[in-house]
């Protein structure tokens, strides 16, 4: 099989990260979690107390940041200016802050360039919310992974185990509203995306569907 650029978009808790990693392993592709990049900016902004509405501060912060994915015995890790911040960026407060930071044009422009640099060589899967609509509108194949709000909330709750389920449900509802209504690159499926509802599917079932779609499209 030739090497392709594949995007997987969708709302929080739809299973994008798990499915993207599994699909990348099946295809021997690189996997890029673009949400982690926004979380990194949010984490660094919080560390130096820059608010999401401080465009100038965020721009200066971005220009001073060097972000890099590496693989080690723990899996894929994200380094910010050489420091491993993979675990720190998964806290609930960083999740919500990342959603706010993602709506800031200077941040999106900074990360857009990083993502496109990472895609120069194909054989890569990009997971995010606007990969197929904004960052890579000419991607070889685009998926949009969705699920019911209840299923997404339960998955995120089981993943984190740090908040009551009711709080997780509220957080996802707020994030859905923010991501889908923001004026800059709102969350939506690309017109040519393959939409998969994972509510009643296992991660393995979703990957099986995706592999079939890729085979049908390109073999």
pLDDT at position 216 is 87
Distance between CA 153 and CA 140 in Å, rounded?
31
| Positions at the binding site for ATP | 10-18
Say how many residues make up the chain: 219
Distance between CA 143 and CA 166 in Å, rounded?
29
Distance between CA 127 and CA 8 in Å, rounded?
5
- The overall pTM is greater than 0.75: yes
| Positions at the binding site | 10-18
Asked if pLDDT for residue 38 goes beyond 80, the answer is yes
pLDDT interval class at 219 (50, 70, 90): low
Asked if pLDDT for residue 47 goes beyond 60, the answer is yes
Asked if pLDDT for residue 26 goes beyond 60, the answer is yes
Distance between CA 72 and CA 85 in Å, rounded?
14
Q: For the segment 76-113, what is each residue's pLDDT rounded down to a tens digit? A: 899 999 999 999 998 888 988 998 998 899 999 999 99
Taken in order of first residue, the domains within the chain and their CATH numbers are 5-210 (3.40.50.300)
Mean pLDDT, the chain, rounded, equals 91
Angstrom CA distances, 33 to 8, 30, 39, 142, stand at 10, 10, 10, 15
């Amino acid at each position: 099989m030739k090497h392709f650029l594949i995007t997987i978009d969708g709302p929080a808790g739809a299973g994008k990260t798990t499915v993207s990693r599994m699909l990348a392993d099946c295809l021997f592709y690189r996997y890029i979690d673009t949400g982690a990049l926004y979380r990194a900016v949010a984490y660094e902004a919080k560390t130096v107390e820059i608010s999401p509405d401080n465009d100038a501060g965020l721009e200066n912060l971005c220009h001073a940041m060097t972000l890099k994915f590496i693989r080690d015995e723990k899996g894929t890790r994200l380094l910010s200016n050489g420091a491993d911040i993979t675990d720190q960026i998964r806290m609930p407060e960083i999740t919500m802050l990342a959603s706010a930071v993602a709506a800031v044009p200077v941040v999106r422009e900074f990360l857009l360039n990083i993502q496109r640099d990472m895609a120069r060589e194909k054989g890569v899967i990009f997971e995010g919310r606007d990969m197929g609509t904004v960052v890579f509108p000419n991607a070889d194949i685009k998926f949009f992974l969705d699920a019911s709000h209840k299923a997404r909330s339960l998955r995120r709750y089981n993943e984190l185990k740090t908040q009551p389920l009711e709080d997780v449900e509220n957080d996802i509802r707020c994030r859905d509203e923010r991501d889908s209504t923001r004026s800059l690159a709102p969350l939506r499926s690309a017109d040519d995306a393959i939409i998969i509802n994972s509510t009643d599917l296992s991660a393995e079932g979703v990957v099986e569907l995706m592999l079939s779609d890729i085979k049908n499209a390109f073999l």
